[in-house]
Amino acid sequence: MSSLLHKLDELQKEEYNLEISVKEDIESFSEELMEMQLALCKVSEVQRDNRDDQIKCWADSVREMSYDIEDVVDGFLVHSEPASNTGFFMGLMHKMFNLFKRGKTHNPIGHAIRDIKKQVQVAADRRKRFKVDEDVANVAVAITIDPRISAIYKDQKELVGIKEPRNELIKWLSDKDGDVSKQKLKIISIVGFGGLGKTTLAKVVYDKLHNQFHPRAFVSVGRNPDVKSVLKEILRELGYDSSATSLNEKHLIDELHKLLRNKRYFLVIDDIWDSSAWYVIQCAFPVNDCGASVLTTTRILSVADDCCKHCRGYVYKMKPLSDQDSRKLFVNRIFGSQEAGLDVPEEISADILKKCGGLPLAIISTASLLAHNPRSRWDSVRNSLVSMFEGDQDELKQMERILDLSYMHLPHHLKTCLLDIGRYREDYEIEKDTLLREWVAQGFVSRTRMRDAVDVAEDYFYALINMSMIQPWTMEDDEVETCRVHDIMFGHIRSKAAEENFNLVINGPEVVAGEHKRVRRVSICYDGEEDGAILAAIKGSLSHVRSVLLFRGSLVPSFLVLKYVRVLHLQVAACERLDLTGIHGMFLLRFLKVVCSTTGEYVKLPDQIGEL
């Protein structure tokens, strides 16, 4: 929607010489679209399973409508005639260009704009009729169970691989160098990917140091925190009278200062998402010479740094479990003991654990799933963790909820960029520069008055790293060259992208495009021989595709006839000659990348390539 609104604004500029009435129509329905965009942002803050069916239907239809309107506007902006298409907006577009070719420079877009205005009004009326804004607001304030609560009360006998990180943190917190009475306030921040066990580790350390500090408190902050409630909770944990509920933030901070001023206190502030919330909360912690300590947990690197920067701080980056600890946790979770798991084929368990990547939450969830399924199911999980997110598996709900916290916390523009990464293969090493330019070409990123769009896209890229959503992989001169995505997060991204009809990933001959859904982005990550069957199954849905990522060369010609492609990324193997002269008809193409993986290949480009 953001991309469309920007183009509609461009369309009203003088160089396009539109009639005043047409500009007024564009301005009118642009305002409606802006309101719809705000409503869509609110809808996206609610997990899809919690949305009303009518609201889901409305949001899906508005998204598809915005795609279609953008195709019409793009077609006019480049003054080119598209191939014949079916569908309401595509028919308009074809009619518009036929009129344009006859020299009627005002009527074509005018007719299309008036019809678009009618469609936008229909969508606006449905929004009011379905009470979208009211229903979303009601769902958003509904109380949900904290998915991390079980980590706080986990039996320590069940924990694996916790001893080493626990001892490292305890050593730092219990540093006896010099006189204890002269030790300043220490702050440690545990940071890492969702599901690594940050809360569990913090609770183990808290319990172990229980007798060395007084007073003590363990509180959680969470997304969209109410700082006043957090301060009240700290006071309650410290045994303060419940009458504190009537105090404002300043008075609550004053009361905490009185309680903690000359004490060797120990506080765990769990699950911090926002530095601004931390800056207020930390005001309640007096700096004294009694050896007080604060332990925080967060998924966000910049928040961890902010927690520690004003005190003698230390950022502890959570590490995945070792191969040995991963297998121990995996087998214990399925069979209850190491001995009972000896008959599990080593290659199967090794492949599954490799995909879990040492993530305790993933190992536990996967093991629980396999424990309740026949051995025949194990092979499908071994082949692809993406398949774990298909269907309705109770064993995976906890993991999905925890991963979803990170996704839901992302700003809307970063959600779009993250979903786009799902086009790539599992375990694929993605080049940063390629990814940034693909985002720009698809309209996910716009230049600002002061900065180029690619520079803005790079900020988005590092923001996703900061949020622990993607992992830097290769570096050069302190710059990230390539990145990867943890297999578990990758599976979650693919699941989200499928929910929103964001892209279609073809990784087997059984793929079907979906019930009458148009495909806007397609990725073929499949090495089988059934090319004809695949294309036949999805051909009717491909006419509006905007982004194509192919990991094989034989299907290339089939995609060169598409008129709405912005991104064409080809990874070609075993092809002596690649004829790309057909791209001269791709009037919206903004990004082309061809990688030939064997020597002796050559690429034929059209003579008119400079006209693209």
Helix residue ranges per DSSP H, 238-390 = 249-260, 275-281, 301-308, 323-335, 346-356, 360-371, 375-383
**pLDDT, position 420:** 96
Neighbours of 530 (CB within 10 A): 13
Q: Name 61's Cβ contacts closer than 8 Å, sequence gap at least 6.
A: 123, 126
The answer to whether residues 367 and 341 touch, using CB atoms and an 8 Å cutoff, is: no
Q: Which residue has the tokens 């002061």?
A: 450
Residue 13's CB: how many other CB atoms inside 10 A?
10
Q: What is the average pLDDT across 229-248?
A: 82
For residue 345, the SS3 value is: coil
Q: What pLDDT score was predicted for residue 199?
A: 92
Percent of the chain whose pLDDT exceeds 90: 32
Residue written as token pair 């929607």: 1
Rounded distance between C-alpha atoms, residue 163 and residue 201, angstroms:
9
State the burial class of residue 579 (Cβ atoms within 10 Å of its Cβ: 0-12, 13-18, 19+): middle
Residue type, 30: S
Q: Nearest-CA neighbor of 318 among 402, 192, 203, 488?
A: 192
pLDDT in tens, 549-568: 988 766 777 778 888 899 99
Q: Which two tokens stand for residue 163?
A: 């001893």
Q: Which of 387, 381, 375 is nearest to 345 (CA)?
A: 375
- Residue-wise pLDDT for 107-116, tens only, equals 567 888 888 9
**In the predicted structure, residue 387 carries a pLDDT above the cut 70:** no
User: In this structure, is the dihedral angle defined by the CA atoms of residues 430, 432, 434 and 435, taken in order, positive or negative?
Assistant: positive
pLDDT digits (tens, 9 = 90+) for 128-158: 888 888 877 766 544 455 555 555 555 556 6
Of residues 531 and 96, the one with the higher pLDDT is: 531
Most confident of 45-54, 416-425, 442-451: 416-425
3-state secondary structure of 27: helix
CA 479 to chain centre: 22
* Angle, in degrees to the nearest 10, between helices 487-499 and 412-421: 110
pTM: 0.82
Q: Which residues contact 353 (CB under 8 A, 6 or more apart)?
A: 323, 326, 327, 330, 363
Residue at 275: amino acid letter: S
CB atoms closer than 10 angstroms to residue 589:
19
Write phi, then psi, for 249 (nearest 5 degrees): -60, -45
CB 255, CB 240: distance < 8 Å: yes
Please name the amino acid found at residue 315.
V
Q: Is the pLDDT of residue 338 over 50?
A: yes
- Please report the sign of the dihedral spanned by the C-alpha atoms of residue 163, residue 169, residue 175, residue 180: negative
Spatial distance between the Cα atoms of 480 and 465, rounded to a whole number of angstroms: 10
Q: How far apart are CA 290 and CA 271, in angstroms?
A: 26
168-226 pLDDT tens trace: 999 888 765 444 445 688 999 999 988 889 999 999 999 999 888 999 999 999 888 88
pLDDT value, residue 111: 82
SS (H, E, C) 460-506: HHHHHHHCCCCEEEEEECCEEEEEECCHHHHHHHHHHHHHCCCCEEE
Q: Are strands 567-572 and 547-550 parallel, antiparallel or unpaired?
A: parallel
Mean pLDDT of 383-402: 65
Q: What is the largest CA-CA distance in the chain?
A: 90
Question: What one-character DSSP code corresponds to residue 425?
Answer: P
The answer to whether 220 touches 298, Cβ cutoff 8 Å, is no
Q: Cα torsion at 369, 375, 377, 380 (round to 10°)? A: 110
- On the CB side of 57, CA atoms within 13 Å amount to 8
Structure tokens at 17: 């010489």
Closest CA to 333 of 283, 291, 371, 288: 371
In terms of pLDDT, which residue wins out, 46 or 169? 169
CA distance 196 to 446: 35
Q: Rg (Cα) of the chain, in Å, rounded? A: 28
Provide the b/e sequence for 25-46 (b: ≥16 CB within 10 Å): bbeebbeebeebbebbebbbeb
470 and 490 Cβ atoms separated by less than 8 Å = no
